[in-house]
Homo-oligomer: A and B are copies of this chain.
Amino acid sequence: MKARVHVMLKNGVLDPQGEAVRHALGSLGFDGVEGVRQGKVIELDLADGTSEDTVKDMCEKLLANTVIESYTIELN
């Protein structure tokens, strides 16, 4: 089974990487880009029957820094 985890900086946490992308898009002539946030996506190939709780545990222990990052889990 596959799981996909999105890890994004929480709202209010400064995202200099996203800000750099926004600026670069403006320099390239793309108008109307009001904001950019950049995060990570982690695709996990897991043994069948792995529970969402296990994936949540992986996020809490390793994949996300929950002080400044939030995560969402998609199983399929």
Determine the chain B residues whose CB is within 8 A of the CB of A42 once the complex forms: 18, 21, 36-39
Count of A residues near B, CB < 8 Å?
Answer: 32
Are A47 and B62 in contact, with the CB atoms below 8 A?
no
Q: Which of B33, B37, B41, B50 contacts A38 (CB 8 A)?
A: B41
List chain A positions with a Cβ less than 8 A from chain B: 6, 8, 18, 21, 24-25, 28, 30-47, 50, 54, 57-58, 61-63
Are B32 and A43 in contact, with the CB atoms below 8 A?
no
Are B41 and A39 in contact, with the CB atoms below 8 A?
yes
Q: Which of B28, B34, B54, B63 contacts A62 (CB 8 A)?
A: B28
Determine the chain B residues whose CB is within 8 A of the CB of A40 once the complex forms: 38-41
